[in-house]
Amino acid sequence: MTVGIAICIAVFIWWRAFSIEIDASELRYKSLFTSPKAIELRYITKTVRRIEVVSKSNHPPNRIEIYGTVDGKQVKFDINMKPFSSADIRKIERLLRVI
């Protein structure tokens, strides 16, 4: 029973650690094991939705790939979509104009 409770607590902490905020000018994303990411919407050059049965390398299998420029440098990062509801995913895809 203790192990089951510990697993439930771990899953809850993992799930609550993810957040996406999109306002009129910026996208901010944070997850449990990565540093927070922020990019101005106008500097996002491409967004791609990927769903894979088996994850390749260290990418989440259910993700949105963000490509753009931050401080003059090309960046690419993944947003793990697994913790979010289907309705939230559709809103995020619409706001980011995901391919």
Q: Read off the pLDDT band of 39 (50, 70, 90).
A: very high
State how far Cα 45 lies from the chain centre: 16
pTM for this model (two decimals): 0.82
Confidence of residue 16 (pLDDT cuts 50, 70, 90): confident
89-95 contact pairs (CB < 8 A, 24+): 92/20, 92/22, 92/64, 93/49, 93/64, 95/22
Please state the rounded mean pLDDT for residues 16-29.
91
The rounded Cα 59 to chain-centroid distance in angstroms is 11
- Mean per-residue pLDDT of the chain: 90
Domains and CATH numbers, the chain: 2-96 (2.30.29)
For residue 19 the two structure tokens come to 């957040």
